[in-house]
Copies of this chain bind each other. A is one copy, B any other.
C-alpha cells in the first residue's frame, strides 16, 4: 500500500481535488490517498510549505507527498520530485517543498522532464491534474525518482524569518494562523531555552500575556494565553475563542518574549 498525500490551495468547492484523485487512481489503482489540506490560502506558497513541513514526519517512510500551490503554473518554473530520508515530495519548484526537505535530509532533487508520464494534452492552468498527479502515480507504481528527469543540485528555498535572542528578550513573529485563530510564532522551544530566566511575559498585539501556560484550559474562558504547541512552537491563543479575532494580530505580527 503506497500512501499519496495531497496539500493544495484548490479548495473543496470545485472538482479539482476529485479530478486529481481520479487521475491517481486510474494510474495507481492501489494507492491510498490522504488529504493533508486543500485549504492553503490561494497562492500562499509559504503557508503550504509550513503545512507540508508539519505533516510529513507523521506519515510512514516512503509516502509520496504531492503539493500544489502554484501561481507560476504554465510558465518555465520546474516540476520537481524530491527524495528525502522520509519520503518523496512532488510539486512545483517555487519553495513549496523546501521546508519539508532541509538540505541535511536531501537524497536527490529531480527536475521532472519525462513528459511520457504526464497527461496529454497538458493544460497550462492545472498541472496538479496533468503533471503532478500522474508523476505521483508513476512513483506509486514503482517508477524511481531518477527515471523522471534530470537530477539537479537543489531547489528554490523559502526563508522563514528567524527570531532574534537578546539576554532577556526574544523577538519573533507570527508565521501561521490556524482554523481556531491560534497564532503560531517562529519561536521554538530551543530558542525559548536560550532566554536568561523564565519567560514572564509574551507581548503581542498590544497585549501582555503572563508566561507560558501548560494548556489552553489554564486560563479562564476568553482570556489570552501562550503555549508551546504541537509543532514545538510558541503559540498565542484565547481560551475557547480566537486570538486572531481578539488580538487582531495575523501573520507577520511582532511577538516578544521577556523574562
Which residue numbers of A lie inside 8 Å of B, CB to CB?
A: 1, 3, 5, 7, 10-19, 21-23, 25-26, 29-30, 32-40, 42-43, 51-52, 54-55, 58-60, 63, 71-75, 123-126, 129-130, 178-180, 214-218, 227-230, 235, 239-240, 242
Contacts and interface: CB of A to CB of B under 8 A. Distances in A.
A204 B37 CA distance: 33
Contact of A25 (B32, B36, B38, B180): B32
Given A25-B60, A34-B22, A129-B58, A14 B51 contact: yes
A256 B1 CA distance: 50
A45 to B, nearest CB: 11
- Of the listed residues A15, A35, A239, the one surrounded by the most CB atoms of chain B closer than 10 A to its CB is A15
A216 B71 contact: yes
Contact of A39 (B13, B74, B178): B13
Given A217-B75, A229-B123, A230-B123, A36 B15 contact: yes
Given A15-B51, A18-B35, A124-B214, 13 more contacts: A5-B18, A7-B18, A13-B40, A18-B36, A18-B55, A22-B55, A29-B60, A71-B240, A73-B217, A75-B215, A123-B230, A124-B215, A130-B230
Contacts of A235: 125
B227 A125 contact: yes
Contacts of A39: 11-14
12 contacts: A7-B18, A13-B40, A15-B36, A15-B51, A18-B34, A21-B34, A22-B55, A42-B179, A42-B240, A73-B216, A123-B229, A125-B227
Contacts of A42: 179-180, 240, 242
B10 A179 contact: yes
A7 to B, nearest CB: 7
Contact of A15 (B55, B214, B216): B55
Contacts of A35: 12, 17-18
B12 A227 contact: no
Contacts of A33: 34
Contact of A72 (B30, B130, B217): B217
B26 A59 contact: yes
Nearest 9 CB-CB pairs, A to B?
A: A74-B215, A13-B39, A11-B179, A18-B36, A126-B230, A22-B58, A123-B230, A22-B59, A15-B55
